[in-house]
Structure 1
């Protein structure tokens, strides 16, 4: 039985605080969804398990062979397919053997790998990359000829070729179309060992048998899928909010009783002082009474101080159980479009990747563009921009690379809206949860969730205000709070949307009015089923 065990795992980033301190967890056979906010350390944890990072203390134990599909595979654009698949040494050895120039080392390397090319081709076909599987010469293609989704599937093939007992997948559905997602899901379902999937894809997480939440440096396991996890957390949060209300009420009560106690003590002190001044009893008796009164008053006061401190401690503990549920609240009347108002008009436009498209967008339509990986969805967005839409527009790219990284959040917004005063910019940024000094943080220092909110602020507070938003796979790499923030912001947007996405649940939540599928033959109305 394959297991992954973390024992007393401790790790700190070189330039940051301790991320994990004495972390313990065990992952057994079956699919486990690893969730957590951006910055919680999901990717770091996978890298520690895979041996790409070394812990400061503790250990990681894996029984069996480990496969690791990392998140940044698309950055190796200059590599060949065979290199990503790890076939180069074996292919070279096999070719030398076939030509009669094989060495003893070549035969050792080829032992057990005589059919490696055939196995690779079979897996490529199974995962929806048949054009790479048609001929072994296609294994020499470069990654930059593939789409992001195709590269992701290629990386998965590379790991499966190693026949691992445990599989680590970091955001595996990024850039995958619906067909590719189904193939990925089938691979996970059929895998007999441990599968640890880090991600925020709610459809994928709903297919997990266990959810492992990484929060505040600790892992908490939830039996069941993501929907079950949400039910548990929602119930806990309702109880936590009730506990906070009770704790706040108790703090007020204890504070009032402390005030009353101090009033009583002051009254007694004044009475005692008056009696002492009148000298109605012997001096020694009066002195003894005064000492007793002081001791009694001190105990009485300390009792109420302790009760106030205890009530505040209970409140702090109750508030710690409340998750950060702050919401973006924006008012965007300048983005309003009216029915019939022309926004985009493409007629017989040929895309560089092949399809010829016709597209008309009028009024505040919300259009989803779906389609297979590599068909040209991002190219379509680029062509729309090149054709100069009839209204002001803005693009939210996949990588959120719209900032001057060295300038602050406020300075980036100011560059997009030079006509607005600094006071107005900061007031509006507060509604995107950048309050006070948070607006002065350089863009390059933002976390993933902060980066999304800053990007939304730059786009939506721009001058002139955009009346058309183009979004390219906007939910990739978003944690669940950030996804909620994006949905909230788009709910307030009153212009037109053109969204490239395969996340059907997200499309439903933002109120898509038309769903179009891009195929090699052009744009067609997509079926009502998930994309």
Structure 2
């Protein structure tokens, strides 16, 4: 119901209560979806059974020589009975769908903006990056006093930490194979890595929102399904022709998340480089919720300690 909801206790208590409420709401949505599927199945079975009964009755009447006028009366009666059954089922399904729409309207927008990746090709524990005694030199000056050694396995969440100028950006470029180490070796075994910087510059500024979304569609989604996903990420029909250059930081982040859900197959690695810098609190929450759902490997550069804790960073590379 409308109005202000009061929660006793501190912020942690509030978050816990909201989480429980959302879980209950999600269960209600799933139950309603299941009820609609059952009702539709029942409608189909009833229609098929009625057709068989009508056909059998007509055959018996013809064999027994029932007068034509009587057969017409019986046929009209059967048709009326079938129509009433159809109406009853249609009303039940309409009622359930109306209830489902009301429930979905209560689900916060954040909960709709989740990745829907196919994770079947990821192999947890597989070595994706192996770095042995690596360093990088600028004008023959080594970037790191001590060469770096590390291994990144599938499924880990790792942060690259260091002060400004410590070489975090250079290390990312090495991991992406955009630069070559001047010492040591980096072996990579990943299929796909997505690099997301603070400007979300993976998006093409000259493209419209809709065309940009379609760029990530390998053809497995039909046009209407792409549009449904755009709507889910709060990009409604009236803004689809807007160019990516016109979007705010939060809108660019939401569009990129949407595009990644459209591509379907999960990237082996997502690298986030100061992703919260240009976002307000609500959009940081949206990004956090989406990243928490991601089951692949996460490499993060961020000064936002709360964000790193929320997304479950467990390991660190200290520069």
Classify the TM-score, shorter chain: 0.5 to 0.7
Partner of 1:332: 116
**1:408 is the counterpart of 2:208:** yes
Aligned residues: 200
5 Å-filtered alignment, 1:67-86, equals: none
**1:347 is the counterpart of 2:138:** no
**TM-score between both structures, scaled by the size of structure 1:** 0.35
Q: Which fold has the larger relative contact order, with Cα–Cα distance below 8 Å and residues 6 or more apart in sequence?
A: 2
Name the CA distance, whole Å, in 2 between partners of 1:360 and 1:429: 37
Match of 1:378 among 169, 173, 181: 169
How far residue 487 of structure 1 moved from its aligned partner, in angstroms, is 0.2
How large is the RMSD of aligned CA atoms in angstroms?
A: 2.7
- SS of 2:240's equivalent in the other structure is helix
Name the CA distance, whole Å, in 1 between partners of 2:295 and 2:232: 17
Match of 1:511 among 296, 308, 312: 312
How far residue 460 of structure 1 moved from its aligned partner, in angstroms, is 4.4
Name the CA distance, whole Å, in 2 between partners of 1:503 and 1:359: 23
Partner of 2:238: 437
Q: Which digits, 9 at most, give the CA deviation of each residue in 1:238-276, with x for residues without a partner? A: 9xxxxxxxxxxxxxxxxxxxxxxxxxxxxxxxxxxxxxx
Pair 403,447 (structure 1): closer, same or farther in 2 beyond 3 Å: same
Structure 1, gaps ≥5 residues long: 1-229, 239-324, 519-531
5 Å-filtered alignment, 1:186-201, equals: none
Q: Contact 2:115–2:260 (CA<8 Å) still a contact in 1?
A: no
How far residue 357 of structure 1 moved from its aligned partner, in angstroms, is 1.9
**TM-score between both structures, scaled by the size of structure 2:** 0.56
Name the CA distance, whole Å, in 2 between partners of 1:442 and 1:333: 26
Partner of 1:82: none
- SS of 1:401's equivalent in the other structure is coil
Q: Which digits, 9 at most, give the CA deviation of each residue in 1:284-322, with x for residues without a partner? A: xxxxxxxxxxxxxxxxxxxxxxxxxxxxxxxxxxxxxxx
Name the CA distance, whole Å, in 2 between partners of 1:331 and 1:448: 19
Q: Contact 2:155–2:298 (CA<8 Å) still a contact in 1?
A: yes
How far residue 430 of structure 1 moved from its aligned partner, in angstroms, is 2.7
Larger fraction in strand: 1
Name the CA distance, whole Å, in 2 between partners of 1:460 and 1:384: 24
Structure 2, gaps ≥5 residues long: 1-9, 19-107, 178-185
Name the CA distance, whole Å, in 2 between partners of 1:351 and 1:458: 34
Match of 1:390 among 161, 175, 190: 190
Name the CA distance, whole Å, in 1 between partners of 2:226 and 2:215: 11
- SS of 1:461's equivalent in the other structure is helix
